[in-house]
Amino acid sequence: MSRKWTAFLVMLVLIFGSISTAAAASSTFTTKGNTSSKVVSLTFDDGSDGTNISKILNVLDRENVTATFFLTGSGANAHPESIRNIVRAGHEIANHSYSHPDFTTISPSQMRSELSRTESTIRTITGQSLAPLFRAPFGAVNSQVLQVVGDAGYTHTLHWNIDTLDWQGLSSSQVYNRIMSNMVPGSIVLMHTGVGASGTTDAISRAIPELKRQGYSFATVSQILGKTQQGSTHRVQAGDTLYSLAIRYGTTVNALVTENNISNVNALQIGQVLVLPGSGTPSPTPSPSEGTYTVKSGDTMYSIARRYNVTVSLLASSNNIANPSLIRTGQVLKIPGTGSPTTSKYTVKSGDTLYRIAVNNKVSVSALASANSISSPYLIFPGQTLTIPR
């Protein structure tokens, strides 16, 4: 009897094990965007030194271009402030492993460790998740790699169709020529941030204006894949709750839960991409004309402060709250500055970024984005009129 029972258990393990494996989706391998539109994604792989990050960020800021940075955990630990600067500037970040091994030569458990260690490192440094985008070290993948990566939550493995070979120390003219001679709609351009890529900064300084002249626009990898189009998805940020997102996008918590198969409404993850039901058009930031707000389930001081374009500290002091983490459902909060909300207007100029405008006006990027219903990655355009919250 014992032997039969053991055999039965083994059979169950084999059956359900095979079902589990078959049900898991492998990561989608992509080399370029499937589009006829003149759009290009600039991507930068960051390794151990990150020497040129600040120079690259300066060029992108000057040209008002948002890019995607593929980060290694070891590199992030070596220069954490540079990684924070990438995020502060509104660029997209993605996973590039921890120690940059060839994934086709290591075990599944080692792959998972590389991914999770990097995810943990970047969360600690920036508060953001790297999912669902991954780039394999050396671009080396096979079916097993894509399966393991997909199982880990990285639904897209990004390759490239333009390899600048900048890491070989090519001159800026050589890098520029490799970009321009291979450019097609939907291109994903591979570049690097390290000291070896000495020609990259000057190359993109020339390439970006020329591509603009040719009618190209720039997008993150997620955008070029159609994953973060405004009004269709939302990437969860610090302070977001399902309730605050439902209000912002004119939907309900239940609709968000159903659309995204969410089992725990209190377990949103920073960086998680939510599909927005219906039109998903963000509602204008509410005006605190009534002067009070009744706390609802799922609210946080951060989400309420951001909703009304005030700081958490000001909201707390206006309500004599010693611990901003302790608010309760049904509590009535006074919203400061309700007598005559103070805002100003700013017209976006060529070369502006949301980060630069926020710094110049002494407000946070998130407050500026919220006041203007701008979704990450904070794309703005010359001539656009922005409301500056005060």
Give the catalytic positions in this structure: 45, 192
DSSP state of 166: G
> Which is nearest to 333 in space by CA: 364, 360, 312?
312
Beta bridge partners, 388, equal: 344
The pairs formed by 177-180 with CB atoms below 8 angstroms and a separation of 24 or more are 179/203, 179/204, 179/207, 180/207, 180/210, 180/211
Give the SS3 label for residue 281.
coil
Backbone CA torsion sign across 82, 84, 90, 96: positive
Alpha helices (H) in 214-310, listed in sequence order: 221-224, 242-248, 253-260, 301-307
Q: Where are the alpha helices (DSSP H) in 292-364?
A: 301-307, 312-318, 354-360
**Terminal Cα distance for the chain, rounded:** 76
E strand or H helix at 77: helix 73-78
Collapsing DSSP states into helix, strand and coil, what is residue 261? coil
Question: Can the peptide bond before residue 341 be classed as cis, meaning omega within 30 degrees of 0?
Answer: no
Q: Which two tokens stand for residue 214?
A: 């040719």
- Angstrom distance (rounded) from CA 11 to CA 187: 48
Please state, in angstroms and rounded to a whole number, the distance separating the CA atoms of residues 90 and 143.
33
Length of the chain: 390
Backbone angles phi, psi at 292, to 5 degrees: -140, 165
Q: How many CA atoms lie within 13 A of 37 on its CB side?
A: 13
What are the Cα distances from residue 92, in Å, to 25, 71, 190, 311, 349? 24, 10, 15, 25, 23
Question: How far does Cα 169 stand from its chain's mean position?
Answer: 29
